[in-house]
Structure 1
């Protein structure tokens, strides 16, 4: 009985050793199965003919980028513009989507980015190095010496002053002989004050209605709302309007009630969104007046 058992063990070991599959194959029990090429997956448990037993991934939606013994393809990655991404190379059957940072965004990570940040705007107006897809803007300091344009102005100002005075006098004489013209409207940078420091939480929907999603995102990032909070709001709210409302509410909670109106208008103007600031200013003035 012991001799029979030992022979059985020996046969199993010999049979196991005899399974020696090629580099493009894999073992399944006592059988060698063919691996599928990039862009294909198997449709039976043990392929023996790749032309029959390997099927292609759905182009543009699925991919496999390596020789494999898988039964399902992988889903293509999407490049979400909300996170500052755009498509660099489209997804194929044998290659996943390649994303890159969109214009005026960067990512300093050495691995494929899942999120890109807006490029810094230099308050000094001096840019030493332009923003790229992998590095932020490098800002410089304003020149302390006398620039060349100041010297040129010093030379040109005296004759220009004489010419301007002449034009003013000439215009004054012309107005004496022709109908009066309406003066051009004066655009002031001053913020029209409200009667009281209004709680903007009651007017959030009215405010964000005048802003695009990108403008609302730019505004809250300008005020250092944590990126984790921004990502949470975007993930939890599918509707764009709801995203804008929750982003603005996150800023209000961070800022507090005092001075929110003035901070809002000044910030929008600093971010080169003057038209949006003017619309919101007029809307809030009207809304507060009607509520009194």
Structure 2
């Protein structure tokens, strides 16, 4: 009986020791495996909180690190205790903006597209996050691009020659060159017919002259040669500015002014008469005449001839000098 009791007590002691050993092992294992994990998660959480506090970055002010204000806002008060206790304020809608996170005490003013002589209009309105985007008005262009353009110029009109390349927001229209030769078949036929008639009449006149010389005694008086025509003389262009400007046109008037170093006068003429290309030409011609002086009428014809604009030069000569032989020259 005693032997059985001892055996039973011994077996229970063995079970008790085994239970205690297993329990201690489990606790040790849990302690080893979980404690580092808890510390790691707490560190990550701390980083996340710090990042959220200054999501757009930081800046330095009076030795303190402050959080930047978001785009569309500006700093009202700098931080004093913690990085995120600075005060931010929104920009004024349609008036000011800030496109990036910043530490500015104010917002940037929106760009205006309403200058009376700039020929611009709004493409995208200003918001608190971005500036106004301007573009050229219809039939105007700017070579520097719509994003930075401050003045748009009117596109050239090609009424007489036709458009070779249309005007765009960043380039002027390109007109076809004026025809220097004969036109189509019907026009060529008419021209050849007229030339034939003129040559035929000239031949008859020469033939008649020779016949008359043969049967007429030579005159005792010496032959006098035809008088040499005088060169062009300067005339006052003031009464003819409007007519001459209409003949020259804005494009060629710009070329005449640039050849005299008057690029600034071109921009001044554009701004003095907004959206009126005829007045631009008159104003620029007037300033060119004032700079050139009393010989302006002669110089204008010479410049146009040098730029292969002989048709316009001839029209201006007819307008200024008419049929006065004392003031014209075939070589002018």
- TM-score, length-normalised on structure 1? 0.46
Larger radius of gyration: 2
- What TM-score do the two structures reach when normalised by structure 2? 0.42
Structure that is richer in helix per residue: 2
